[in-house]
Structure 1
């Protein structure tokens, strides 16, 4: 009678090492969020409207205060949301605390104030529409994510928060695209715009008000479908 076969530890398949790419990507995204937050608030620390990087309506007294609210709350969201995707924090009570802070002190007031800032914008209807739709979707996705977690639909909650994070990253892509496209399209300044720098920058900026978030959202949807549930 044959002896029963045994499987030695040396013959067992070894588990594949976990890829470090997701962690590296998360580190890079977190660093970009921190750098963007520092850059975003730097022009507003002194609370001087003359230092604003956004055109202000002189006939609307609350335009600058509303912009400050948007800067502060959006910066908080930009700093807090990346932490929600760190595995160590996701498995601790800090995840819930940070999540509520990011939602109620960051995303929701940031979206509402952002909608007001968009409506008061001085860069034309294209830019106003781009930022307004961004604000509406940001609020809607965040509210949907909160509702999902309250109902115990955790998979849906994760999907909505990936979308929220993608829209939050508009603050990063906006500040990357402005200098990048301004330099890349510089050869068009004379032949297309006749040397009119104001028109040149205005049209680039109007395009960026959409490019800073639409590709982010498309990438998020691709990620969710590739990853599945």
Structure 2
């Protein structure tokens, strides 16, 4: 009982941290005002902000509903609900992934551009594999690919959670820049997405995928 209680406590803390990071990420876009965009908008792409909004909200919805499909017993006891959640989740991935490719192509920073494009491609591939495997009746492979897909989905939250650690690592490796902490933020925000992606993939494979196999 104590072990189960600890597991629930850990899950609750993780859930709250992810929820807080997700709300922080989406908050400026709830105003529907380009002036508050955290992503620098490229004037060469007239629909940059609308595409960014679709990407942000699709990603947020995928993050919000994706975990439901992993609830123990949902597939066996509430198959219709499981399928509905899966369809909503995969629909969000399609919308978020395609718009993510467009947004990534017009991102100013080269490193962030590569990060956006890599995430979008991985998101679309893992989502497609999750869809194809269940259509073929390959339930175990479907579970594995959906776990991998949600690991990619969580990068948006993980990248923000690891930002303080990335900042400390930057200070330790590069030293304090002339402009202080503010001057270190820009390079840190170019690295945190990659750190979040690698961390999520490793944890997913180690903690979850190997158990399903």
Q: State the TM-score, normalizing by the size of structure 2.
A: 0.86
- On the 8 A contact 1:30/1:82 being kept in 2, the answer is no
Taking structure 1 as reference, are residues 151 and 61 closer, same or farther at Cα in structure 2, changes over 3 Å only?
Answer: same
The 2-side partners of 1:27 and 1:198 are apart by 32
Query: Where do 5+ consecutive residues of structure 1 fail to align?
Result: 1-15
Taking structure 1 as reference, are residues 144 and 24 closer, same or farther at Cα in structure 2, changes over 3 Å only?
Answer: farther
Aligned to 1:203: 187
Aligned to 2:104: 118
**Is the radius of gyration larger for structure 1 or structure 2?**
1
- Residue 26 of structure 1: how far off its partner (Å): 4.2
Instruction: Specify which of 155, 163, 172 is matched with residue 148 of structure 2.
Output: 163
Query: Where do 5+ consecutive residues of structure 2 fail to align?
Result: none
- Residue 158 of structure 1: how far off its partner (Å): 0.2
Aligned to 2:89: 102
- Residue 33 of structure 1: how far off its partner (Å): 3.8
- Residue 126 of structure 1: how far off its partner (Å): 1.5
The 1-side partners of 2:70 and 2:42 are apart by 38
Aligned to 2:197: 213
The 2-side partners of 1:225 and 1:88 are apart by 18
Q: Deviations over 1:78-98 (max 9, x none)?
A: 001111111243331211111
Q: How does 1:30-69 map to 2 (within 5 A)?
A: 30-69=15-54
Instruction: Specify which of 90, 96, 100 is matched with residue 75 of structure 2.
Output: 90
More helix by share: 2
Higher relative contact order (CA 8 A, sep 6+): 2
Aligned residues: 211
